Amino acid sequence: MTTTSAASKAQLRLASLSAQLDISARDPISSVLETSLPPVQLNRDALSVLLDGEDQTWRNWMFDQMKHPLFEYQYNVTKEELVTRNQERTRHLASLGFRPTWAETKENNDLAKKYDQSNKFIQIQDAMSYFDNGFSTLNGAHYGLYYGSIRELGSEALQDKWLPLADTFEVPGCFALTELGHGSNPRGIETEAHWDIKEGCYIINTPNTTAQKYWIGAAAETAYMSVVWAQLFVPHPKDPTRSIHKGIHAFLVPIRDLTTRAPLAGVTIRNCGTKSGLNGVDNGRLWFDHVRVPRHMCLDKYGGVNEQGEYESIFESKEQRFGGQLVNLSEGRVGLSISSNNISKTALTIAIRYGKSRRQFGARAVGELETLIMDYKLHQRRLYPLLAQTYAQHFAARALAVLRDGDKSDFSLLKHFHIISSGLKSLHTWHLLDTLQATREACGGQGLKASNRIGQMKADCDVMATYE
């Protein structure tokens, strides 16, 4: 071997190693892969249609928005900077009309157009999850849980007043269900709401330490309003000194002054502090000290006190009412099933691309190319089954989305939907955690590098197996 040819091969090897140092799902890597394996003959357009349908207008629109400087991937910033950046991103998208407004939804009686509006938002939310779980979670908390609760459970007057302000993210909100003492068992929450006959209002109160609202996304810094869930008690019609328990109800409660941003009287807000991940979401704690809430601020579609001061409900039992009220959580699990699977796709994309460029062992002589690690059966067995399961889960999540978009007035389907959405959400998030660990290991030392994203995704996504 001549000195020139050896030097040339050494330069090629150094160039290959250099290219391997920063391979993420967003980086152009064609130059790296051109020197590895022949390209697979695959109709990518047909596969894209099979996976995501023919109309991908808004998904592609969201991917284009990610080229904006606001969406530049950052990994060496404080949690305060992360929270502020996610707020700015959300306001930016809201200014571009990234979702159908309440006015558009309310005035549109054409079912086909309503489907188009819903499909637009779903595509955009879908694309968000590939980018940043903190950003996606903030949007889900505000537009999915807070906004969705008012849309599904609130009166027309409440919707007309507060949803336009939520559309623009001018008045962000949060969803306060989980408490220090109760997370997985929402029926056991201890926050109380008492109907005051004399004043004609509800009184929201945190009776003890374990009743404080905890881990509430967007409560610590972002939200001005909160959908607060509490156990409702109304006076006994024959003996006002006694109370009748009516089960869990939701109330729209202002928590911050719209001008000064200071907590309102009777409301205490604290930050949950730095977390092991997902620090782009400002999780907070809330206490209520006998906060008075007007009667019309109860989200009373399924039950509440009427103008005559009497409790009424379309359901006979607390259990039925509870199931109808929390349909938004089941819908949220659909989003989590989809987004967790999308994050699995991102991690697998990074790891498989790296495996098709990284070479180790197998050279028969000095200067010869070593074997691509993706050619080793052990490496394939580590990643390909995860890839296959991710494809299968993709179609399962899409089928679940069809069920979600069905007739919400058919309450006989709610239990069925709840069971399936809970099961798939668990399956998909467990699969995500397994995938992130496997892909981190499959990338060797490069899997630890922050700019290659997998480590940060592990930190930000670990909680997905816990919430909802």
* Residues with a known catalytic role: 468
The candidate with the shortest Cα–Cα distance to 252, out of 144, 140, 159, 138, is 159
Which stretches does DSSP call E strand in 152-242?
Answer: 173-176, 192-196, 201-205, 213-217, 225-235
CA angle 120, 121, 127 (to 5 degrees): 95
Q: Using DSSP bridges, classify how beta strands 225-235 and 192-196 pair: parallel, antiparallel or unpaired.
A: parallel
> From residue 361, how far is each of 366, 379, 439, 458 by CA, in Å?
11, 13, 20, 29
Provide the 10 A C-beta neighbour count for residue 366.
9
> In whole angstroms, what is the distance from residue 99 CA to residue 103 CA?
11
Chain-centre distance of CA 192, in angstroms?
Answer: 28
Q: Using DSSP bridges, classify how beta strands 283-288 and 213-217 pair: parallel, antiparallel or unpaired.
A: antiparallel
DSSP state of 15: H
> In whole angstroms, what is the distance from residue 291 CA to residue 287 CA?
10
The torsion angles phi and psi of 146, rounded to 5 degrees, stand at -70, -60
State the first-to-last Cα distance of the chain, in angstroms, to the nearest integer: 63
Q: Using DSSP bridges, classify how beta strands 311-313 and 267-271 pair: parallel, antiparallel or unpaired.
A: unpaired
Cβ–Cβ < 8 Å for 342, 130: yes
The candidate with the shortest Cα–Cα distance to 221, out of 343, 83, 97, is 83
> In whole angstroms, what is the distance from residue 84 CA to residue 62 CA?
20
Cβ–Cβ < 8 Å for 338, 129: yes
Two tokens, residue 396: 């399962």
DSSP state of 191: -
HSE-CB at 400 with a 13 A cutoff on CA atoms is 26
Two tokens, residue 315: 């359901």
> From residue 118, how far is each of 98, 123, 124, 402, 431 by CA, in Å?
11, 9, 10, 12, 28
Sorted by sequence, the CB contacts under 8 Å of residue 292 that are 6+ apart come out as: 196, 199, 201, 202, 203, 204, 266
